Amino acid sequence: MRFLTDRKRAEGLGSGKSGTAHHWYMQVSAVGLAVLVPLFILTFGRIVGADHATVVEYYGRPFPAIVAGLTLWVGMLHFRHGAQMMIEDYAGGFTRKALVVGTVCLTYGTIATGLYALIRLAL
């Protein structure tokens, strides 16, 4: 007969300490994205359909490049935290660990690729 204490049953399920910080991060990044996404749409929308030389000149200016970079950075980190929360809620064991590692790799790979492309375009 196995006797499990409440502590043993709850082990690995997380704690109230990190959940509050995670919720606060998601709220702050959502507000940041609420400002950044419309700015990105406005700045990106002005240059859609232009030739390569015009796009290079446009993203050579600081404001459009900074807006695009910040939108990419904040948006992907928001995605990472949200996807990680979903994975932790619905997957377990090795599958959970593999999916979280894959999500983190995908997120930082996308950020690195996007910022590299933006820097190449702006310089």
The three-state (H, E, C) secondary structure of 31-90, written as one string: HHHHHHHHHHHHHHHHHCCCCHHHHHHHHCCHHHHHHHHHHHHHHHHHHHHHHHHHHHHH
In a domain, residue 60? The reply is yes
Q: How many domains does the chain have?
A: 1
Q: Up-side HSE of residue 22: CA atoms within 13 Å toward CB?
A: 15
Question: Residue 46 is part of which domain span?
Answer: 33-122
Compare 10 and 14 and report the one with higher pLDDT: 10
Q: What per-residue confidence (pLDDT) applies to 47?
A: 93
- Residue-wise pLDDT for 40-91, tens only, equals 999 999 999 999 999 999 999 999 999 999 999 999 999 999 999 999 889 9
Any domain includes 40: yes
For residue 8, is it within any domain?
no
Q: Percentage of residues in the chain with pLDDT exceeding 90?
A: 73
- The answer to the question of residue 80 being in a domain is yes
Residue 111 maps to a domain: yes
Does some domain include residue 23? no
In a domain, 2, yes or no: no
pTM beyond 0.95: no
Q: Has residue 42 been placed in a domain?
A: yes
